[in-house]
Amino acid sequence: MKPCIFFDRDGTLIEERHYLSEPAQVKLIPGAAEAVRLAREAGFLTVVLTNQSGVGRGYFPAEAVEAVHRRMEGLLAKEGATLDRIYVCPHAPEDNCPCRKPRTGLVEQAARDLDVDLHRSWMVGDKPADIELAANAGMRGVLVMTGYGEGSAPEGAGAASFTASDVRAAVRMILAGAAPGRLGGPGAPDSGVD
């Protein structure tokens, strides 16, 4: 089993755009490719989890989401970064589906598909739902101050293990105390990141 760093998409790896459906509008947040690359080099799987209710609301088709992801992956690849997988919840909030963050359906699917050790895994995102997902799945969560996290007070991070200015800073902090083989998982006494 391998640990994973799960990344939110909008506001974490790419700039927040309300109901993004145009690949031309995809722009990486500075340091995002480095964050993914560093995580992989340290032995973590790298997986994106994203709610895309625009599909369920009929604003755009699932193919538009796939095109956005191809663009994002292309931009990451130009900087030497690769994702292991991307998981999407296409449902509207009122659909009450088990895969919409903060519910754990996407994480559970990733764990089955990729043999993920959730107890040594992390969720990095810009919304409380990302941090709540981490807690629900038995992982640690990092709230980044980009996207919807921008302007948030660090003390308002709730159940986050810590906050970080951006995704690159988050991954660096994780790796400082949680590289695979150095910790037993969440709650390990010598993490240095609490």
Q: Is 10 a catalytic residue?
A: yes
CB distance 47 to 86 below 8 Å: yes
Q: What is the DSSP string of the chain?
A: -B-EEEEESBTTTB---TT---GGG--BPTTHHHHHHHHHHTT-EEEEEEE-HHHHTTSS-HHHHHHHHHHHHHHHHHTT---SEEEEE---GGG--TTSTTSSHHHHHHHHHHTB-GGG-EEEESSHHHHHHHHHTT-EEEEESSGGGTT--GGG-TT-SEEESSHHHHHHHHHHHH-BTTB-STT-TT-S--
Catalytic residue, chosen from 8, 84, 126, 166, is 8
Q: Which residues of 162-173 are buried (b: 16+ CB within 10 A; e: fewer)?
A: bbbebbbbbbbb
Q: Is 190 a catalytic residue?
A: no
Catalytic residue, chosen from 10, 84, 126, 130, is 10
d(CA 48, CA 13) in angstroms, rounded, equals 9
* Active-site residue set: 8, 10
